[in-house]
Amino acid sequence: MDHCKEFARYLVEEKHVSDNTLDSYRRDTEHFLSFLSSVRNVDPLSVKVEDIKAYVEYLHDSHKSVSTVTRSVASIRSFFQYLIATGQTDENPARSVKLERPPKKLPQSLTSREIDLLLNQPDPREPKGCRDKAMLELLYATGIRSSELVELNVNDIDLRAGMLTCSRGKSGERRIPVHATAIAAVSDYISRVRSLIVAEDGGQALFTNLNGRRLTRQGFWKIVKGYAEQAGIVKEITPHTLRHSFALHLLENGADLKDIQVMLGHSDISSTQIYVQLLNDHFKEVYNNCHPRAKNGEKVSRPLSAGEKGKRGFY
């Protein structure tokens, strides 16, 4: 039996995971099964806790990051849950494997100025630039995931009402308002460009590559990276950076956290609360850079002694 293939089918049909999760779990499982075969000489159905611990040690020896190791074990746990669900085994040996907790990284975001720089890079007079402008504007206007962006169909955006229906993400269907600037960019693309590049097998895809087929996440990632370099932005930018920027900028300007949660499609408010910490860090940086006393390093770091008070006229 091809365990990886059947596991992938289980993830899609039973667990309805996102494309990103599917790719990660499938890749992690392939590496793990390869390790079992080539290093441990163990069948997947005979795996013990010791085999998984040996794999974790192997990953550490290969200088994998803590987050990569943690994700790999999560993939393995899910793989054994699939084996249990399909009656191939009774135990999940990965459950008892304890891992170091990865350091929590705050998401990268762009300033308003950097957003303007990025969104102004595509040349809307050219077909490619017109399409790219529409994609970037729509992503920042709605905060949707890049996987959701490339899965959009033409009828998912109501240009007249200024609303986007996002229905193929892992969060289920949600409707998100779209501001006028983004609506204008998407409308321009649909009316002038899309009909020129879409192929017969492009279907109802809103955004296609220049060959006329639905754009992929990888293709869009390259587009974002190219414009970031063109804009001279030194931060490491991915499509998700625009999603983070969308959330942070809404929060900065007074949006309610629960509303942001709904628009982002987070099932748990704790996923959205990370932007509060990001906002607090931002304000702390602004304070340290702008407050005269903080900026000049004139803070008193310890209480003054009686002698020092006397010298400074306190007595």
Type of residue at 312: R
Considering the domain architecture, whether residues 173 and 228 belong to the same structural domain is answered as: yes
Considering the domain architecture, whether residues 38 and 120 belong to the same structural domain is answered as: no
Considering the domain architecture, whether residues 9 and 146 belong to the same structural domain is answered as: no
Considering the domain architecture, whether residues 123 and 25 belong to the same structural domain is answered as: no
Look up the CATH number of the domain holding residue 19.
1.10.150.130
Considering the domain architecture, whether residues 61 and 140 belong to the same structural domain is answered as: no
Tokens matching residue 171? 């969060």
* Alpha helical stretches, state H, the chain: 3-10, 19-35, 49-61, 66-85, 112-119, 127-142, 146-150, 180-189, 195-197, 217-231, 239-252, 257-264, 269-290, 292-295, 306-311
At 278 the pLDDT is 75
Considering the domain architecture, whether residues 37 and 140 belong to the same structural domain is answered as: no
Question: Is residue 99 a part of any domain in this protein?
Answer: no
Question: Is residue 25 a part of any domain in this protein?
Answer: yes
Question: Is residue 100 a part of any domain in this protein?
Answer: no
Calpha distance 140→109 (Å, rounded) = 11
Considering the domain architecture, whether residues 46 and 177 belong to the same structural domain is answered as: no
Calpha distance 226→66 (Å, rounded) = 29
Considering the domain architecture, whether residues 179 and 282 belong to the same structural domain is answered as: yes
Q: Which domain does 198 fall in, by range?
A: 112-288
At 298 the pLDDT is 47
Question: Is residue 256 a part of any domain in this protein?
Answer: yes
At 306 the pLDDT is 53
Considering the domain architecture, whether residues 140 and 17 belong to the same structural domain is answered as: no
Contact 101, 69 (CB under 8 A): no
Question: Is residue 205 a part of any domain in this protein?
Answer: yes
Ranges of residues in the chain whose predicted pLDDT is under 50 = 169, 298-302, 308-309, 311-315
Task: Dump pLDDT digits (tens) for 29-77.
Answer: 999 999 999 998 989 999 999 999 999 999 999 988 888 899 999 999 9
- pTM equals 0.64
Contact 247, 116 (CB under 8 A): no
At 277 the pLDDT is 79
Considering the domain architecture, whether residues 80 and 182 belong to the same structural domain is answered as: no
Question: Is residue 303 a part of any domain in this protein?
Answer: no
DSSP-derived secondary structure for 50-102: HHHHHHHHHHHHTT--HHHHHHHHHHHHHHHHHHHHTTS-S--TTTT---PPP
Considering the domain architecture, whether residues 207 and 264 belong to the same structural domain is answered as: yes
Question: Is residue 186 a part of any domain in this protein?
Answer: yes
- For 42, 274, 281, 297, 300, the CA distances from 288, given in Å and listed in that order, are 57, 21, 11, 9, 15
Question: Is residue 94 a part of any domain in this protein?
Answer: no
- For 39, 66, 159, the CA distances from 162, given in Å and listed in that order, are 56, 43, 5
C-alpha count within 13 angstroms, C-beta hemisphere, residue 95: 7
* Of 85, 101, 130, the domain-final residue: 85
At 17 the pLDDT is 85
Look up the CATH number of the domain holding residue 124.
1.10.443.10
Report the number of distinct structural domains present in the chain: 2
Considering the domain architecture, whether residues 76 and 122 belong to the same structural domain is answered as: no
96 phi/psi in degrees, rounded to 5: -90, 5
At 180 the pLDDT is 96
At 203 the pLDDT is 83
